[in-house]
Structure 1
């Protein structure tokens, strides 16, 4: 369940929108399902006259506590939409009403044992979501505490997912990847693109970090992929890089300036500090071993080397028979899904696998373990396989072998994680988001890979050329 919060002023304006046709006539059969302090929602339902709902009476009732405030809050209305995933079952009005009360109890706006909490309503005009409208003024005149409401809402949504056996979503721990804004989505749609610039840049940066051994190689690979790179240098030491930003040629603001994204604006683990700690830890012996193994393997036949990496992944699978800490499991899963992302990006079936690659990227990094630079031998094996997948000279058998090995490893990680949580974390009737994406990739094992020299697929080459011309 996803909860989205907006704050503002003007209760009447918000109610007119909710009981109106919507932006694209998507609002059908609006109705109240719950209200404050056990109030019967049917007595508050706006009347329908002359083709529209009259929400003025309901707005006045919601705004009454504002008159008791010594000082009006900066924002007087808190609006939250609670939305189900497409595969979740529909909730009844009674279940939605209880969900609304639980959310408002956990966020502190209307605790169950506090009759003087905020006034609120819950309404629905669709089967898959409801809207909560809360007046940010307690009925006893005391101010409302809105601190950390976004994260309290996340905890409430996790509780509802467990209670109603809904799709589990990532916790709101301030470390997940930045979601594209509505404006970014609309801009991508106008350009005829399925994904936003932020999503595509996140994919390119993550693959570049996985494929390179140093910052210089990292930036060179991004430029080769058609990405614009801007570096930030220290004022005390001009030779020291302290940050970076990336942009696509042709992606401009209204003023004609490039739309730059810093690494931390793409994902927490793509910030410059985290990349230095995790992607190129200069003192990390395991990374040195990975690099030397990859370089020495260039003398072997590609098929032999792929078999070597597949065998290494099989050893990681067998090692998962032993219990692992949650942080270890998260690190292994992140590394495995980055491998799947690399394999997807190497395929000539650019459209289908490119879509799965971006979904994998989002799912793989929806939550992060605590930062750490030390790599285990198992992480080293996955990293080496990822770097090999991003190198040239692969054939069809190579792609199939690594995809199968990555799929087996991911399924083993999911089984280990479910066992560690007593079966809690993903409903029994559905695979996880990551699992569905990996299975989709496994179904494309017979897809035609890139050519023997590892060049980009034709659609990808065309995409890079067009961006460089822009």
Structure 2
């Protein structure tokens, strides 16, 4: 549950809002579920013609001690919404009433057993929340002691969540969590986005735009140029001395009004000017592409980035390097934003959603070796410098390679948070992994299917030799898992290709296996396949079927009556890092 007090000075105005239709007609059946004495007049339970008079009676009852106090009190209204999580069950009026009584007691409005407590009511006008409204003068005409009420209420909310078996949000109430995650949009921003038919609020769109401008940027000049390229307005706050103290950002207002400006801190904790300047001070490497053919740059850029990600995973998986997590998450978001900006429409939305989900896994500890941060940010720059990908097969396999690395990064981040009891952040990391799995499957489907066909056609002695290499290079349990996977045929074909090119499969497997992080992968065989193909420069998998077989397969896939895979050869499911239904040519045809 979430709750935060809203001070006010107009009791009647607050009551009119609570018992009215709401700003957007969102209030349904407003009524009192609890009050200071259980007998407060309820405007929600009288005929409409009597509602105004009852509202006045309720206001007078709530304001009684305020009037008797005899002196003006600033902000004498205490308004506290209490909202359940979207995943929680619907609570009854009786349960909400009990929750309200516990909260006013914890806050200091009406402590248990105190006959002089303040007057209050709890109004429900939706399934998932109530509003507690109180006046802050006690019956003994002293003001309520509300100092640190938020801390006490949050402790009580944790107990309520456990007792009612609701989602435990205690970790989201910590100062560390609040200091790390992006700032959420206000209700007015959400309603405006809905009114304009937008998928997200202006704050969310602006935060994404600023992050994309920052991803891979080498200095402030490049950052500001990218902002301008996206149409983002940049403001600079200055001290009386003329020194720059902060950034403000805005998007042009489509309705002709003045732009709505946000400081960096109102977007996300790491988008303040000091944090951005510290990021520039760490430096960044310029990507270098020895191949003069610019058409190969997107592939090279993605392969470079996947190598960097794979190299960083063992450090994040190491429980002894907790301080590295914040930096890894922040830099991982930069890589995702760079990838989203240069990916085809096929996967751009999924990658962007993964980046936004990963923002909510941030931690305040961001210390890391400058070399580690420089490598990750340089990888983001390499992706941007390489440019957008096309529809070539090489682009698809390079995308599948880096996406398999990013899926594993999200999984390891989820594992890191879960090990520390951060279930909320671990859930967001798993959400990011799910989006990345979807993007991966869209790129990996065809090449994995081709490799699967090649692997099935290998002579049995060759398959046995590659299986023996797996057993020699990997721990016994991991080797068994790889050989039992659907993706084993594709890995066997890759090892056979590498061996034909002069490589030792056992050595390649040992190098590609890395450290503990591979055990977290949903499909180690898929991860090994892409790492080995990347490290050895193997060509893009191409169909090995005869032209007439491919024509028959295409005709069957498009047929409205025969939507089933061909019988020979039959590709296996794509070994995505997902537990969802695998993607084969036939399942894609059905969609």
The two structures share one fold, judged by TM-score above 0.5:
yes
Cα shift at 1:365 = 4.9
Q: Which residue of the partner structure matches residue 72 of structure 1?
A: 72
Could you tell me how far apart the structure 2 residues matched to 1:382 and 1:436 are?
Answer: 22
Structure 1 position 201 matched with structure 2 position 201: no
Which residue among 380, 386, 389 is the counterpart of 1:386?
Answer: 380
Q: 1:154 to 1:273 in 2, by over 3 A?
A: farther
Q: Which residue of the partner structure matches residue 49 of structure 1?
A: 47
Are 1:320 and 1:412, in contact at CA under 8 Å, matched by a contact in 2?
A: yes
Q: What stretches of structure 1 of length at least 5 have no aligned partner? A: 450-470
> SS at 1:344's partner residue?
helix
Q: Deviations over 1:338-393 (max 9, x none)?
A: 4334333433338x844873684376157650565x43655444434333333334
Could you tell me how far apart the structure 1 residues matched to 2:322 and 2:419 are?
Answer: 11
Are 2:203 and 2:267, in contact at CA under 8 Å, matched by a contact in 1?
A: yes
Are 1:107 and 1:152, in contact at CA under 8 Å, matched by a contact in 2?
A: yes
Structure 1 position 343 matched with structure 2 position 339: yes
Q: 1:386 to 1:321 in 2, by over 3 A?
A: same
Which residue among 231, 238, 243 is the counterpart of 2:246?
Answer: 243
Are 2:107 and 2:152, in contact at CA under 8 Å, matched by a contact in 1?
A: yes
Could you tell me how far apart the structure 1 residues matched to 2:224 and 2:158 are?
Answer: 39
Which residue among 433, 438, 454 is the counterpart of 2:428?
Answer: 433
Are 2:413 and 2:429, in contact at CA under 8 Å, matched by a contact in 1?
A: no
Could you tell me how far apart the structure 2 residues matched to 1:92 and 1:227 are?
Answer: 46
Q: Which residue of the partner structure matches residue 476 of structure 2?
A: none
Could you tell me how far apart the structure 2 residues matched to 1:112 and 1:338 are?
Answer: 51
Structure 1 position 312 matched with structure 2 position 308: yes
Q: 1:376 to 1:221 in 2, by over 3 A?
A: same
Cα shift at 1:167 = 6.0
TM alignment of 1:379-418, pairs within 5 A: 379-393=373-387, 394=389, 395-418=395-418
Could you tell me how far apart the structure 1 residues matched to 2:155 and 2:212 are?
Answer: 32
Structure 1 position 135 matched with structure 2 position 138: no
**Alpha-carbon RMSD:** 3.7
Structure 1 position 332 matched with structure 2 position 328: yes
Q: Which of the pair has the greater relative contact order for Cα pairs under 8 Å at 6+ separation?
A: 1
Which residue among 337, 359, 366 is the counterpart of 1:364?
Answer: 359
Q: What stretches of structure 2 of length at least 5 have no aligned partner? A: 390-394, 445-591
Q: 1:187 to 1:16 in 2, by over 3 A?
A: closer
Cα shift at 1:322 = 2.7
Are 2:289 and 2:300, in contact at CA under 8 Å, matched by a contact in 1?
A: no
Deviates more, 1:131-140 or 1:113-122: 113-122
What's the TM-score once normalised by structure 2's chain length?
A: 0.62
Are 1:120 and 1:134, in contact at CA under 8 Å, matched by a contact in 2?
A: yes
What's the TM-score once normalised by structure 1's chain length?
A: 0.76
Cα shift at 1:214 = 1.0
Q: Which residue of the partner structure matches residue 461 of structure 2?
A: none
Could you tell me how far apart the structure 1 residues matched to 2:83 and 2:354 are?
Answer: 20
Q: Which has the larger radius of gyration?
A: 2
Q: Deviations over 1:76-132 (max 9, x none)?
A: 222222222322222233432333233334433333354433222222222211111
TM alignment of 1:104-183, pairs within 5 A: 104-112=104-112, 114-147=114-147, 149=149, 153=153, 156-157=156-157, 160-161=160-161, 164-166=165-167, 168=169, 170-171=172-173, 173=175, 175=179, 176-183=181-188
Are 1:180 and 1:199, in contact at CA under 8 Å, matched by a contact in 2?
A: yes
Q: 1:259 to 1:15 in 2, by over 3 A?
A: closer
> SS at 2:386's partner residue?
coil
Q: Which residue of the partner structure matches residue 463 of structure 1?
A: none
Q: Deviations over 1:6-31 (max 9, x none)?
A: 33234344334433444454433333
Deviates more, 1:203-212 or 1:172-181: 172-181
Q: Deviations over 1:235-293 (max 9, x none)?
A: 76x7x754333333455774xx444433233223211111112x212xx4xx45xx15x
> SS at 1:280's partner residue?
helix
Q: Which residue of the partner structure matches residue 2 of structure 2?
A: 2
Are 1:154 and 1:172, in contact at CA under 8 Å, matched by a contact in 2?
A: no
Are 1:227 and 1:246, in contact at CA under 8 Å, matched by a contact in 2?
A: yes
Deviates more, 1:354-363 or 1:379-388: 354-363
Cα shift at 1:44 = 5.0
Q: 1:140 to 1:230 in 2, by over 3 A?
A: same
Q: 1:323 to 1:67 in 2, by over 3 A?
A: same
Q: Which residue of the partner structure matches residue 19 of structure 1?
A: 19
Could you tell me how far apart the structure 2 residues matched to 1:194 and 1:317 are?
Answer: 33
Could you tell me how far apart the structure 2 residues matched to 1:112 and 1:298 are?
Answer: 76
Could you tell me how far apart the structure 2 residues matched to 1:360 and 1:153 are?
Answer: 33
Q: 1:58 to 1:231 in 2, by over 3 A?
A: closer
Are 1:338 and 1:361, in contact at CA under 8 Å, matched by a contact in 2?
A: no
Q: 1:358 to 1:108 in 2, by over 3 A?
A: farther
Deviates more, 1:117-126 or 1:44-53: 44-53
Are 2:124 and 2:131, in contact at CA under 8 Å, matched by a contact in 1?
A: yes
Q: 1:229 to 1:13 in 2, by over 3 A?
A: closer
TM alignment of 1:205-244, pairs within 5 A: 205-231=210-236, 241-244=244-247
